A and B are shown apart, each in its own frame.
Chain A
Amino acid sequence: MKSMQVIEQEIVEDFNLFEGWEEKYQYIIELGQKLPALDARYKTDAYKIKGCQSSVWLHGEEKEGRLYFSADSDSTFVKGEIALLMQVLSGQLAEDILNSRLDFIDAIGLRQHIAVTRANGLASMIKQMKTYALAAANIQK
């Protein structure tokens, strides 16, 4: 497992290759289209994240101190954002997820393109991933 810093750095380098917003958008859509499907039993209100303009369902599972996420959204762009978050966070130790700062989101210039309500949606997704991590970390103690 690569460290989060390394993965974030790789994402930032990928994004540096893009000329502008149009290419970044297309890349994120493609990531969204490739996001593995979420198991239907998690596509319920219990797994739905509040605070997103689009519907987002997120499931996290702990295995040997590491967390593995799966998710879905009605928006392909949001799925792409989730895919980026999962590249960084999925498979990491609960402690590391809790302490992550996710500076890459600003570094790839994503935040400026999403309206305030949607940025809050992104924040809600991150918060929910950290909530899973917190639960897992507490179990270990």
Chain B
Amino acid sequence: MAEFNVNEIRKDFPILSVKAYGKPLVYFDNAATSQKPQPVIDSLVDYYTNYNANIHRGVHFLSQKASSAFDEVREKARAFIHAASEREIIFVRGTTEAINLVASTYGRKHLEKGDEILISAMEHHSNIIPWQMLCGEKGAVLKVIPMNDRGELMLDKVEALLSEKTKLVSLVHVSNSLGTINPVKEVIALAHAKGIPVLVDGAQSTAHGEVDVQDLDADFFAFSAHKILGPTGVGCLYGKLHLLEDMPPYQGGGEMIQTVSFDRTTYNEVPYKFEAGTPNIADVIALGAAFDYWSRLDRKAAGAWEQELLTRATTLVSGIPGVRLIGTAAQKAGVLSFVIEGVNALDAGMYLDTKGIAVRTGHHCTEPVMLRFGIPGTLRASFMFYNTMDEVDLLAENLRNAIRFLQPQAAL
């Protein structure tokens, strides 16, 4: 296998040569958003410079060019997650909107008083609140699959939590605050044995490995462009065709209709039924450039490199006195979360920032996870294939310095 040449890869990402306070930027906030390769940036400029037009309704040159560029991305999205048909791809604003779409269409249609939705203890707020809102409206109940002290889903509890009242399971594929890779395929098999569909939150997983929605047998799958080298403001919802066809529309407006009169409207077919209004044309096209980038990348080698980064970071950081890792699952991707005895996470995060190292501190939009571990928040370093071993070493070294600086009396 060819060596993964990270230094060559880094040249594709112009922002990686930015200086922060005069120091080389070390970007370890990839779980929040990824950086963008040059072709993605270029595609935005190219679209606005050369063929900006509204799509699908124009007979003219520009509109035709924009329409076909836009339409091609649906096929690329299909290929990216190995869906059966491009009609199963709906363009949305991101993971958050994808989940809300399912809650307010599928959920509204099928949920009744006393029914249940099952999520896990490590969900992002965007996979909790839409269901809470829906349950509140319908008088339904939100149930939670617990996790163990390593931050692993307790798979043996799933079966008992699936009842004849369960209408949907919604589960995160890779946890953004713990890094845990969940056994979604197993959970889906358990749910399907009882005829219950499953939504998978793929916001993190799509950045770290190849996803095959057919192999998983996921019924819905949600992800955001900005976490996978694409622009902000766009993402995809995958849904099995028969489910999408059975769902009522999401928002009303242009594009999602077939015929309209004041008495009656007939809706367009899937996926357009769910895409009211002028879509985010520029960003969808730029997402297409991101898909192209992934297909040129040696994803096996990139994934292996990321695992090496995570392993080294885990070894170095957990070796620092006072550090306690939060999230030590056997299967992890991309994320190292930890707390430091006697040192506030925010103070340490700001220390790293003064050295040009970007990490995140706080609850990472997963407050129930912090509650479960009895902590207010963590420091989180999250990795992407364009990070280097030197950067990992710099993180560990500066963490030691931060602790020395911030733990005054104790150190003397």
Contact = CB atoms under 8 A, between A and B. Distances in A.
B346 interface: yes
- Output the residue of B344, B347, B350 with the most chain A CB within 10 A: B347
B182 to A, nearest CB: 28
B406 A20 contact: no
Q: Is the interface of A mostly helix, strand, loop or mixed?
A: helix
A104 interface: no
A74 B346 CA distance: 9
B22 interface: yes
B146 interface: no
Interface string A21-58: 11001100100010000000000000000000111000
Interface residues of A, number: 17
Given A22-B355, A29-B405, A53-B362, A77 B21 contact: no
A75 interface: yes
A104 to B, nearest CB: 20
A87 interface: no
B376 interface: yes
Interface string A7-25: 0000000000000111001
A141 B350 CA distance: 44
Contacts, number: 38
Interface string B285-313: 00000000000000000000000000000
Interface residues of B, number: 15
Contacts of A128: none
A76 interface: yes
Nearest to B409: A33
Contacts of B351: 25
A7 to B, nearest CB: 25
A74 B354 contact: no
Given A21-B21, A29-B406, 17 more contacts: A20-B21, A20-B22, A21-B353, A21-B354, A22-B355, A25-B351, A26-B405, A29-B347, A54-B346, A55-B376, A74-B376, A75-B344, A75-B346, A75-B347, A76-B344, A77-B346, A118-B346
Q: Across the A-B interface, give the 3 residue pairs with the lowest CB-CB distance, nearest first.
A: A22-B354, A75-B344, A25-B354
Interface of B: 21-22, 344, 346-347, 350-351, 353-355, 362, 376, 405-406, 408
10 contacts: A20-B22, A21-B21, A21-B354, A22-B354, A25-B351, A54-B346, A55-B376, A75-B344, A77-B344, A77-B350
